[in-house]
Amino acid sequence: MSLETLQITFKEDKEMGTDNIQKKRMTGSEAVMQSLIHEGVKMIFGYPGGAIMPIYDALYDYHSQLHHILTRHEQGALHAAQGYARATGDVGVCFVTSGPGATNAITGIADAQIDSTPLVVISGQVASPLLGTDAFQETDVVGISQPITKWNYQVKNVEEIPEAIARAFYIARSGRPGPVLIDITKDAQFAELDFEYKKVEKIRSYIPVTKTDEEKVAEAAQLINLAKKPLVLVGQGVILAEAEKDLMSLLEKTGMPAAWTLLGMSAMPTDHPLNVGMLGMHGNYGPNIKTNDADLIIALGMRFDDRVTGNVQKYATNAKVIHFEIDPAEINKIIYADVPVLGDIKESLPMLVEKVAANKHEAWVEEFRACDRIEDEKIIKNELYPTKEGLTMGEVVRRVTEQFNDEAILVTDVGQHQMMASRYFKFKHSRSVVTSGGLGTMGFGLPAALGAQLGQPDRAVCVFVGDGGFQMTIQELGTIWQTKAPVKIILLNNNFLGMVRQWQEMFFDKRYASTELINPDFQMITRGYGIACEKVEKREDLDGAIKRMAETDGPFLLEVVVEKEGNVLPMVPAGAAVNEIRLE
């Protein structure tokens, strides 16, 4: 049964755990607080309003246990919770009010759904008697959010609050993670119940993880043992399952080269000898070209997104495909799998490691390195070590990652800077990347960086933003200032909507329609929020400014004016095959 059709039937379905706390009389709003505490929640992102005011009133008495972050917009709250969840592996939690508060959250919910980020969003709703009357700030958020949530439910009866929240956390974090929304009417928040909490351990008809078929693993191992040119594709599923060590065991035993998706970035160290780079439209030359030379593709926790495959009719034309995946819906959805291996990759990967033979593929790996040399000569050298006058995005990324010794968490907004940062930032540790993948949400970066920093206070967080996306959630500078989160913001300013302009240059005869920006004084705005900042326009000033940013205890915005018409290359044009990648 799909989660879209799964309904709560509390009286009929009691397949829950026995982790109880003593019954106590309390309001529905206090029951929300107690339920969150029981689920181990420590931080909530949100924005108050009329329909959720009883819950915020109850929160007032729990400030020592539940730390609430007041963002400046509900979309910012959702992205901050995403950043928190992605950096920590915990479920992100949000509070929003009804009507515009709930609809402002929709973009973040959709982003979390497509990128498999576990969230629990609790929205206030008008009182039950007003439902369906077009009351002030009434919106059918359950109906609106149904296609973009893993599960959602409206609570009108106070007695349902503990069980609804228990199920919400179980569904959000189990199997393939995702967002869940619980909409609670105002009268249910005010009403009283005898509170009792039972953590959910299973739900009838909901099977979040399929048991791994050992025969399929054996089939996969046989194909790997016979392959001459195998290529491993590493997706975010490896990170979500905390299977990074198992991945390294597989690669080092078999000698297979591995490339990674945008969300699979940091699953393996950048400098590992079997790491052959990023897949996809703006990925590295080698893994794109060699996809169609491979005789075996081993996909680990990735979904064959169109940005990875290009033209599916011309994708991996010489290869058999093994697909390790937790979500049955992803099997054969885009690319046919000769051997599908369903289940938790944390369980299936060790089984595979036991069954594969020790091997080396030195000549095959060298083919990727030959591609690296071509890409380095034609693109990377000029991007990272330019001799032209204007600053490039790539050289800024390189100098920032070097300043932080490749130890920082990278957060990005969406656009050219996102691709540049993904290509040139370097990593030593997993869970070091927070970016909007499937939805490509401009405005994601700044609030997501806040959430990542609050979730990982002992790590440096560097967020790269463009001058377009930055202005979509620029108000979250206020949240950063209020929390004093020491986020390092690198604004790459080219006075353009850069990625759209690049497409206009390459495919629309340089007809720059509505992409050039007249920007405000970002330095003045940043200082208005009490945040330290600096602007760099010349190459000789860059290193010193980056060093001063790194040494600043609190938040810092470094604005770097980069060349106006720089392009992100290589590029697989839309509709082209991956081996039709362009170097110029």
54 and 146 belong to one structural domain: yes
Domain boundary among 195, 224, 240: 195
The tens-digit pLDDT sequence of the chain (584 residues) is: 344 444 444 444 444 443 444 589 999 999 999 999 999 999 999 999 999 999 999 999 999 999 999 999 999 999 999 999 999 999 999 999 999 999 999 999 999 999 999 999 999 999 999 999 999 999 999 999 999 999 999 999 999 999 999 999 999 999 999 999 999 999 999 999 999 999 999 999 999 999 999 999 999 999 999 999 999 999 999 999 999 999 999 999 999 999 999 999 999 999 999 999 999 999 999 999 999 999 999 999 999 999 999 999 999 999 999 999 999 999 999 999 999 999 999 999 999 999 999 999 999 999 999 999 999 999 999 999 999 899 999 999 999 999 999 999 999 999 999 999 999 999 999 999 999 999 999 999 999 999 999 999 999 999 999 999 999 999 999 999 999 999 999 999 999 988 999 989 989 999 999 999 999 999 999 999 999 999 999 999 999 999 999 999 999 999 999 999 999 999 999 899 999 999 98
In a domain? residue 69: yes
> Which domain CATH number covers 513?
3.40.50.970
Question: Residues with Cβ < 8 Å from 572, sequence gap 6 or more?
Answer: 280, 281, 282, 283, 288, 310, 578, 580, 581, 582
In a domain? residue 375: no
68 and 40 belong to one structural domain: yes
In a domain? residue 569: no
Q: What is the residue type of 278?
A: M
237 and 269 belong to one structural domain: yes
In a domain? residue 372: no
Burial pattern 213-238, b for ≥16 Cβ within 10 A else e, equals eeebbebbbebbeebebbbbbbbbbb
Confirm whether 137 is a catalytic residue: yes
Confirm whether 508 is a catalytic residue: no
95 and 188 belong to one structural domain: yes
- In this predicted structure, what is the pLDDT of residue 168? 98
- In this predicted structure, what is the pLDDT of residue 9? 45
Residue whose structure tokens are 């049964």 = 1
How big, in percent rounded to 5, are the helix, strand and coil portions of the chain?
40, 20, 40
263 and 339 belong to one structural domain: yes
Phi and psi, residue 507, nearest 5°: -125, -5
Confirm whether 499 is a catalytic residue: yes
DSSP 327: -
| Domain membership of residue 144 as a residue range | 3-195
Domain boundary among 165, 195, 225: 195
106 and 41 belong to one structural domain: yes
187 and 279 belong to one structural domain: no
In a domain? residue 61: yes
- In this predicted structure, what is the pLDDT of residue 22? 59
> Which of 137, 146, 222, 475 is labelled catalytic?
137
> Which of 34, 39, 45, 74 is labelled catalytic?
74
In a domain? residue 373: no
Cα(139)–Cα(185) distance, rounded to whole angstroms?
12
- In this predicted structure, what is the pLDDT of residue 276? 98
CA within 13 Å, CB half, 102: 28
> Which domain CATH number covers 222?
3.40.50.1220
> Which of 136, 192, 214, 388 is labelled catalytic?
136
> Which of 351, 499, 549, 571 is labelled catalytic?
499
Number of domains in the chain: 3
In a domain? residue 263: yes
> Which of 150, 186, 229, 290 is labelled catalytic?
186
Predicted TM-score of the model (pTM):
0.94
533 and 423 belong to one structural domain: yes
439 and 550 belong to one structural domain: yes
Cα(408)–Cα(401) distance, rounded to whole angstroms?
7
Confirm whether 471 is a catalytic residue: no
191 and 261 belong to one structural domain: no
Where on the phi/psi map is residue 194: left (φ > 0), alpha (ψ -120 to 50), or beta? beta
184 and 103 belong to one structural domain: yes
In a domain? residue 32: yes
- In this predicted structure, what is the pLDDT of residue 4? 44
**How is residue 531 written in tokens?**
């945040």
Domain boundary among 136, 165, 195: 195
Question: Residues with Cβ < 8 Å from 208, sequence gap 6 or more?
Answer: 171, 174, 175, 176
Angle at 399 between CA 395 and CA 401, to 5 degrees: 115
Confirm whether 136 is a catalytic residue: yes
170 and 269 belong to one structural domain: no
Q: What is the residue type of 189?
A: Q
